[in-house]
Amino acid sequence: MLVILKRDNKEISREAAQLVASAVRKKPALTLGLATGGTMTGVYGHLAEFHKQGSLDFSQVVTFNLDEYLGLADRHPQSFHYFMHEHFFRHVNVDPRNIHIPDGTVRGNFVQYCAAYEDGIRKAGGIDLQILGIGRNGHIGFNEPTSSLGSRTRLKVLSQETIDDNAKFFAPGEESPRCAITMGIGTILEARKIILLATGAAKATAVAKSIEGPIASAVSASALQLHPEVTFIVDEQAASQLTQRDYYRRVLEMTALLTPERMS
């Protein structure tokens, strides 16, 4: 695990975008796992700018999003379909046929639908690089506390904490979604490389538990300790409860010196 400490969201966005751009340039047909949320808008903005400048081509990239709220249509302004289109897809040249986002309007056999989403990832050769955010309770995707560390894509009931956090994004009187379709922790761990971004003091406890705490279903992001190629990129506030900050800085310095290809 590599922990990169940055000053603020601006620096985090730039660092993450450079890592994604490098991965796409090395493998133009990259399979990219995508996330939504405020931390991601800057990343997608930088990637769109790289594309506009002619230095980054997404025409062969295949994407799979982590999750989607159950009950929200593609055009709903709080759907993740809408978020991805507005912040990323309409600004770059990803082939629409290569874009995969769980369908929040699916009805009936959720098990069958989620199995098909998993199958789509397998047929694409697996996810090469997965981008993640983290919830205040330590969830990745919508894998709420007590999620199985071996879980696969499925319908997941959201915790009250997550519902409350999301309520501010919805219009007065509009009910915040109670469920979502999400990749499982086991699905996420099968990605070849993972980048997790975290900003702000509200994420500090979750970040500390994920990086330095025990591996536990109570903090689903702690399962990332099991993965051989994970990079956490966190700002000063989100890193405030980490006890080994000086060590992480030394590791980063030595990693850049001894294996510069990992940092390119």
Q: Which of the residues are catalytic?
A: 67, 137, 139, 144
- 10 Å CB burial of residue 100 (0-12, 13-18, 19+) is middle
Question: For residue 14, with 0-12 CB atoms within 10 Å meaning exposed, 13-18 middle and 19 or more buried, which class applies?
Answer: middle
Query: How far is Cα of residue 118 from the mean position of the Cα atoms in its chain?
Result: 17
What span, in angstroms and rounded, lies between the C-alpha atoms of 94 and 106? 24
Distance in angstroms (rounded) separating the CA atoms of residues 12 and 225: 21
Encode 68-97: b = buried (16+ Cβ within 10 Å), e = exposed. bbbbbeeebebbbbbbbbebbbebbebeee
Distance CA 246, CA 111 (A): 45
Give me the sign of the Cα torsion angle 19, 21, 25, 28: positive
Q: Give the end-to-end CA distance of the chain in Å, rounded to a whole number.
A: 16
**With contact defined as beta carbons under 8 Å apart, do 94 and 130 qualify?**
no
